[in-house]
Structure 1
Amino acid sequence: MQKGRIEAFSDGVLAIIITIMVLELKVPHGHDIEALWPLLPIFFSYVLSFVNVGIYWNNHHHMFQAVKHVGGWVLWANLHLLFWLSLMPFATGFMGENGFTAPTVAIYAFDLLMCSISYALLVKALMAEHGAESDFARALGSDRKGNISTLIYALAIPLAFVQPLLALALLALVAAIWIVPDRRFSRMPH
């Protein structure tokens, strides 16, 4: 199968996810700056989630530039990733609306963990599709940054029940690490 449909579908789903998240930002009742203060946790949650969804879109885009073809397992692995990303608006709203309490930060971290795991499964499905000796496999190399991110997400879940703001800081740190896109696939000829 050609990769164009999976890319177009993924782009559309990610655009809808971002749209749903921004709709959670309600216009405050009031005309002064103080009316905005209650929205700060919701706005911070939105910014963090927007960055995270953007990171997945960016890396998905770069990775699919190296993809030659897709098969059934790749389609399912991609849907698995999109499922967990589609829960981002819920996790974002739950955390922001409730002031970063322990359970809400833990659920947000869990969603990010599942996004990370599902992205890794997508990579494995693409590796199986292209083979260990393919240009895709050579471009992929090791995924140290991805493995470290997955570990931090996993650590943030129990930490959220002890220090929710520290757990949130770790999640923001992972996002900051990924602001520079994954360059592994940009070295490969297209």
Structure 2
Amino acid sequence: DFVALSAHKMAGPTGIGALLATDEALSQCGPFLTGGQMIRSVSTEGSRYRDGAALLETGTPRIAEAIGWGAAVDWLSKIDFEKMHDHIKHLAITASNGMKEIDGIRVFSDPMRPESSGTISFLHERITSDDMALLLDEGGFAIRTGQHCAQPLMDALGVLSTNRISLWLYNTEEEVKSFLSHLRMICERFGQ
């Protein structure tokens, strides 16, 4: 009945998204917040709200973000997605294989799976995920650390958190090799 979209997952700005819903699903929704365009009328006896999607659109819309998201969608519409997928898959395989060769690194992702993306979760057996993130940051590599909105999975894996790299269209093989070199240096220096 619903599909949620996040602009920043589509090369767009943060702070904006979309919710697609069937008319039937929308008819069952009540107001979450009030104000702005979602009000049909206000009197001393109460308020009447608009129907459909307008019911969920309160306050001033995020105009600049919407324009930015539109530009991102225009840019994405010109991308050869098959070529992009092949590029990301190649980078992910290179990164995953390289990480598996480093002592102490456990890789949780399998980029060979057809449904895999460019995200690779990993953990060092003796370096905490937070420390790893800080050490990689010092080398110029921004990664995510934590439970990645998947605490039940972390519990099933028997870990508190993992590190995650996310590879995409703009990443290069040289960057992956540089990342692996820096990761190897960290593990040799701090993981013993």
Whether TM exceeds 0.5 here: the answer is: no
Structure with greater helix percent: 1
Structure number with greater Rg is 2
Structure with greater strand percent: 2
Higher RCO (CA < 8 A, seq sep 6+)? 1
TM-score (norm 1): 0.31
TM-score (norm 2): 0.31
